[in-house]
C-alpha cells in the first residue's frame, strides 16, 4: 500500500462484492483507485479476500457508461447483439434531461393507457439501503402496486420465508463471528472458501482450536473439508431426507433439549410424530450417507453445549428450498441452539447489500422491515409517512413471475436498476425473449449489461465507491459507505437518478441527501431504532437490533423469546419432495450451478477487474475425472451440455470434489450462460427457482 505520499486521498468504504461486508480503506491517486486494504471492521477484522483486495479496478474500466443513451429509431432488432464497436448502431447519446424525460414519459404513457400494473421494477442488492428504499417507494407510490423485487428472489427467498414463518424474522439469529464461541458448527449447501472467503477464515480458525466442523454438501468442498471433522457428500436434492434422519436420531435417542422446547417453541409433539418415519436406515440409500455417519452427526450436534448452522444457496435454490430451511430451523430448535453466544441460524447472504435491500422493502409482499402489505395497520402507517399514498393490499409478483408476465404481454414496461435478468433468470432464453417484447425498458447501471442491451433508455449510474449511504451485511450490521471519488463522466449517484425520475412521473419528492432518506426509513423501521446517520458516520457500523444509543448492537438475538405469538418459535414438519426434473435416459446427469472465488454473480464487475479476469478468464465447468474419462474428454477440452431448456459448449475441468453423476457450472460467463440450461420451476413458498438441480446430457465436442 505504501506511505501517504503514494496517494492523494483515502476513504473508508465497504467491499462491493459479498454479504460478509468487509470494511476497506480505499486509496486514490490522480483520480483513480490505487489500492484497497482491509481495515478493522466488525466482520473482517482487517482481512480481505482476492475480490476485495484486487477486484476494485472494474470502476475504471473503459466500458463504464458515462452518458445517458437512448435507443435509436433505426436500431436493429433488440438482442444480445450490441458490443462497444457497434454501440452507435443501437443507441445515441442524450442529455440527462432528455433521457429522464424519455424514461418518465414512456412509463407515464403506459400507466395512462394500460394502468400502473403494466410497469414493474427490479431493484438491486448492490445499491445502498437508501437507494433500495427509494426504488420500492417509486414503484409502490408511482404505480400503485407491489410488483417490485430484486435478486433475493434468486438466492435466499426460501430461507427468509422459512425464518419468518418459524422464528418470526428473516435475518440471521447470530453473526458468523459467533462461531468463535461455538463447540460445533454445521455448514451445509454453502462453499464459503469461495463465496464468503473471509467468513471461511473464521470457520477454519474455529476448527483449528478444536471446534467440530461438520460440512454437508453434494460437492466435496475441498476448501473446508481439510478442516472438517465430518464431510457428508450427500446426493443432491435429498436435503430433507438427510436432515430429517439426523433429527430422527435426536428424537429417538432423546437427545433434544426438553427444557428449551417447552420454554420457547410450539408444534413439537406433531413434529416428533412426523420425524419418526425418517430412520437413518430408511433414508441412507436415498441420501447416500451411512446410518452410522447420520447418527454420529446427530449426536455431535445435539450433545454440544453450543452449536451453529450456516447455509447457502445449496439449501435455498430448490423447489423444496423452504422445506430445507425449515429442517435446519427445527434442528437448531430441537437442540436449543438459538439465542445464546455460540449458537444460531445463519443463512450466508450473497450480495453485499441483499440483507439491506430486503430490509428496505425491495420485496413484493412486504414493506420496509418485512411489514406485510396485507396488514391494514401497516398500510395505514405508510399512508401516513408517504403523505396519503394508498398501498395496494395484494402482494406483488416476484422476479420470475414478473418476467413471465412480460413474456405474456401483460407487463409492458420495466425499470431495472442494477439487476441483470438477461443473465440471472432461470431459462434465460425465455427471459431474453420477454425483455425484447417490452414496449419500454429503462435500465440504470454502470455497464452495458446483457439486460441493458434490450433497453430503450440507459441511465449511467455509480459504483459503490462513488456513492454515500448505508449497506447491511449478512450479520445485520449496518455500515456507512463514503464517496471515495465521483462517478465518471456524466454518470450519477443512483439515488439522485431515482429521485429525478420520481419527480418526472409526478411524485412530490424532495430529497437532497441520502441522510434524509435514512431518516425517513427510520420512521417505519424498528430495526433502525437507536441507529442514526451520525452514529454510523462516527462509528462506521452498528448492528441491529440495537438496545440504546451506546449499544453497538446485538450479535445474538432471541435469547428471551421470538417475535412470534407467545414468543415461541415453531417446528414445521417437512416432507421429502423430489427435484422438479430427474435424470433419465435422455438427460442422465445432474447439473448444478454456483460461483467461483474470482467471479461475482453475472460477472459484470469481476470480469472487468484485471487481476480477477486474468486468474479466471474462461468459461468452464467441472466434472469428476472418471466422468471425463468415460466421455473421452481430456481436461481443457470442450463438452456440450444440453438440458430441456437449451444447450451450450464449454471447457471442461477435472475436479474430484464433484460427484461422478454431476456437472458443476459457474454462472458468471455470458459466452456460456449457465441459465440457458437451468430449470425455472419454483419453490411454492419462497418462489425461488431450482438453480441447483437440472437433468443434463453431456457430450464431447468432436474435432478438438
Catalog residues that contact ligand SF4 under the rule CB under 6 A.
15, 17-18, 20-22, 44, 48-49, 51-52, 196-198
Nearer to ligand SF4, 23 or 238 (CB): 23
Strands 638-642 and 679-682: what pairing? unpaired
CB of 72 to ligand SF4, least distance (A): 38
Residue 502: is it exposed, middle or buried by C-beta count within 10 angstroms (0-12/13-18/19+)?
buried
| Per-residue exposure over 202-233, b if at least 16 CB sit within 10 Å of its own CB, e if not | bbbebbeeebbbbbbbbbbbebbbebbbbbbb
Cα–Cα distance list, 14 to 363, 470, 471, 486 (Å): 24, 9, 8, 16
Residues near 301 by beta carbon (within 8 Å), at least 6 away in sequence: 184, 186, 214, 246, 250, 307, 331, 335, 337
CB of 85 to ligand SF4, least distance (A): 32
CB of 23 to ligand SF4, least distance (A): 9
Phi and psi at 181, nearest 5°, equal -100, 0
CA atoms within 13 A on the CB side of 319: 15
Nearer to ligand SF4, 49 or 185 (CB): 49
Run of H or E residues at 226: none
Q: Which residue has the cell 441522510?
A: 515
CB of 598 to ligand SF4, least distance (A): 10
The x, y and z cell numbers of residue 602, run together, are 453475472
Nearer to ligand SF4, 446 or 505 (CB): 446
Q: Is residue 324 a contact partner of residue 247, using CB atoms and an 8 Å limit?
A: no
Q: Is residue 42 a contact partner of residue 177, using CB atoms and an 8 Å limit?
A: yes
Q: Which residue has the cell 435475518?
A: 171
CB of 108 to ligand SF4, least distance (A): 39
Q: Is residue 441 a contact partner of residue 425, using CB atoms and an 8 Å limit?
A: no
Nearer to ligand SF4, 52 or 579 (CB): 52
Distance CA 126, CA 445 (A): 10
Nearer to ligand SF4, 44 or 572 (CB): 44
DSSP secondary structure letter of residue 486? P
CB of 540 to ligand SF4, least distance (A): 15
Nearer to ligand SF4, 102 or 202 (CB): 202
Nearer to ligand SF4, 49 or 335 (CB): 49
Nearer to ligand SF4, 49 or 435 (CB): 49
CB of 585 to ligand SF4, least distance (A): 42
Nearer to ligand SF4, 22 or 319 (CB): 22
Cα–Cα distance list, 549 to 175, 442, 525 (Å): 20, 41, 16
Distance CA 483, CA 326 (A): 40
The x, y and z cell numbers of residue 544, run together, are 441491529
CB of 417 to ligand SF4, least distance (A): 21
Q: Which residue is nearest to ligand SF4 (CB)?
A: 52
CB of 187 to ligand SF4, least distance (A): 15
Using alpha carbons, select from 443, 448, 400, 442 the residue that is nearest to residue 418.
Answer: 443
Residues near 22 by beta carbon (within 8 Å), at least 6 away in sequence: 14, 15, 38, 41, 43, 44, 47, 48, 49, 52, 198
Nearer to ligand SF4, 21 or 170 (CB): 21
CB of 18 to ligand SF4, least distance (A): 3
CB of 472 to ligand SF4, least distance (A): 13
Nearer to ligand SF4, 52 or 488 (CB): 52
Nearer to ligand SF4, 22 or 157 (CB): 22
CB of 197 to ligand SF4, least distance (A): 5
Amino acid at each position: 500500500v505504501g506511505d501517504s505520499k503514494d496517494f492523494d486521498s483515502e476513504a473508508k468504504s465497504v467491499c462491493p462484492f459479498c454479504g460478509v461486508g468487509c470494511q476497506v480503506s480505499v486509496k486514490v491517486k490522480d483520480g483513480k483507485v490505487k489500492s484497497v486494504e482491509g481495515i478493522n471492521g466488525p466482520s473482517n477484522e482487517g482481512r480481505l479476500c482476492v475480490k476485495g483486495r484486487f477486484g476494485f479496478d472494474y470502476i475504471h474500466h473503459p466500458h463504464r457508461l458515462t452518458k445517458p443513451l437512448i435507443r435509436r429509431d433505426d436500431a436493429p432488432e433488440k438482442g444480445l447483439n450490441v458490443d462497444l464497436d457497434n454501440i452507435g448502431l443501437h443507441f445515441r447519446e442524450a442529455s440527462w434531461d432528455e433521457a429522464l424525460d424519455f424514461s418518465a414519459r414512456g412509463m407515464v404513457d403506459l400507466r395512462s393507457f394500460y394502468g400502473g400494473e403494466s410497469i414493474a421494477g427490479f431493484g438491486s442488492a448492490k445499491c445502498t439501503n437508501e437507494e433500495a428504499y427509494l426504488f420500492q417507494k417509486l414503484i409502490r407510490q408511482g404505480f400503485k402496486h407491489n410488483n417490485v423485487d430484486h435478486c433475493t428472489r434468486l438466492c435466499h427467498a426460501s430461507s427468509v420465508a422459512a425464518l419468518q414463518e418459524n422464528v418470526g424474522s428473516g435475518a440471521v439469529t447470530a453473526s458468523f463471528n459467533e462461531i468463535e464461541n461455538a463447540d460445533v458448527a454445521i455448514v451445509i449447501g454453502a462453499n464459503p472458501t469461495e463465496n464468503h472467503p473471509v467468513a471461511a477464515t473464521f470457520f477454519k480458525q474455529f476448527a483449528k482450536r478444536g471446534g467440530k466442523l461438520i460440512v454437508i454438501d453434494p460437492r466435496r468442498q475441498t476448501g473446508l473439508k481439510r478442516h472438517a471433522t465430518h464431510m457428508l457428500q450427500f446426493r443432491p436434492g435429498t436435503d430433507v431426507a438427510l436432515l430429517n434422519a439426523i433429527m430422527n436420531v435426536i428424537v429417538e435417542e432423546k437427545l433434544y433439549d426438553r427444557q428449551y422446547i417447552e420454554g420457547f417453541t410450539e408444534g413439537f409433539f406433531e413434529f416428533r410424530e412426523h420425524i419418526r418415519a425418517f430412520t437413518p436406515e430408511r433414508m441412507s440409500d436415498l441420501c447416500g450417507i451411512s446410518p452410522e455417519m447420520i447418527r454420529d452427526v446427530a449426536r455431535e450436534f445435539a450433545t454440544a453445549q453450543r452449536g451453529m448452522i450456516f447455509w447457502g444457496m445449496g439449501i435455498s435454490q430448490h423447489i423444496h428450498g423452504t422445506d430445507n430451511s425449515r429442517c435446519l430451523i427445527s434442528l437448531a430448535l430441537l437442540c436449543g441452539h438459538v439465542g445464546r453466544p455460540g449458537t444460531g441460524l445463519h443463512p450466508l447472504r450473497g450480495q453485499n447489500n441483499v440483507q439491506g435491500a430486503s430490509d428496505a422493502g425491495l420485496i413484493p409482499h412486504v414493506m420496509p422491515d418485512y411489514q406485510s402489505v396485507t396488514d391494514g395497520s401497516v398500510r395505514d402507517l405508510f399512508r401516513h409517512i408517504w403523505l396519503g399514498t394508498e398501498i395496494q393490499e395484494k402482494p406483488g409478483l416476484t422476479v420470475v413471475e414478473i418476467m413471465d408476465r412480460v413474456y405474456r404481454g401483460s407487463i409492458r414496461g420495466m425499470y431495472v436498476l442494477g439487476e441483470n435478468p438477461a443473465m440471472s433468470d432461470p431459462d434465460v432464453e425465455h427471459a431474453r425473449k420477454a425483455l425484447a417484447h417490452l414496449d419500454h425498458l429503462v435500465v440504470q447501471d454502470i455497464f452495458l449489461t446483457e439486460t441493458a442491451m434490450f433497453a430503450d433508455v440507459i441511465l449511467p449510474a455509480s459504483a459503490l465507491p462513488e456513492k454515500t449511504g448505508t449497506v447491511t451485511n449478512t450479520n445485520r450490521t449496518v455500515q456507512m459507505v463514503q464517496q471515495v471519488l465521483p462517478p465518471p463522466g456524466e454518470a450519477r449517484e443512483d439515488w439522485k437518478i431515482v429521485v429525478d425520475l420520481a419527480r418526472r412521473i409526478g411524485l412530490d419528492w424532495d430529497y437532497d441527501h441520502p441522510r434524509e432518506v435514512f431518516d425517513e426509513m427510520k420512521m417505519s423501521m424498528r430495526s433502525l431504532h437507536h441507529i442514526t446517520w451520525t452514529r454510523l458516520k462516527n462509528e462506521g457500523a452498528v448492528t441491529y437490533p440495537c438496545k440504546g444509543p451506546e449499544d453497538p448492537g446485538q450479535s445474538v438475538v432471541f435469547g428471551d423469546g421470538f417475535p412470534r405469538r407467545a414468543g415461541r418459535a415453531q417446528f414445521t414438519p417437512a416432507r421429502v419432495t423430489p427435484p422438479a426434473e430427474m435424470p433419465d435416459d435422455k438427460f442422465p446427469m445432474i447439473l448444478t450451478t454456483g460461483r467461483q472465488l474470482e467471479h461475482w454473480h453475472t460477472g459484470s464487475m469481476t470480469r472487468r477487474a484485471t487481476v480477477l479476469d486474468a486468474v479466471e478468464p474462461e468459461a468452464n465447468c467441472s466434472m469428476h475425472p472418471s466422468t471425463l474419462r468415460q466421455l473421452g474428454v481430456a481436461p481443457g477440452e470442450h463438452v456440450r451440455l444440453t438440458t430441456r431448456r437449451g444447450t451450450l459448449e464449454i471447457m471442461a475441468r477435472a475436479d474430484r470434489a464433484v460427484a461422478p453423476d454431476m456437472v458443476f457450472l459457474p454462472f458468471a460467463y455470458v459466452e456460456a450462460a449457465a441459465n440457458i440450461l437451468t430449470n425455472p420451476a419454483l419453490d411454492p413458498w419462497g418462489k425461488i427457482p431450482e438453480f441447483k438441480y437440472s437433468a443434463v446430457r453431456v457430450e464431447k465436442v468432436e474435432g478438438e
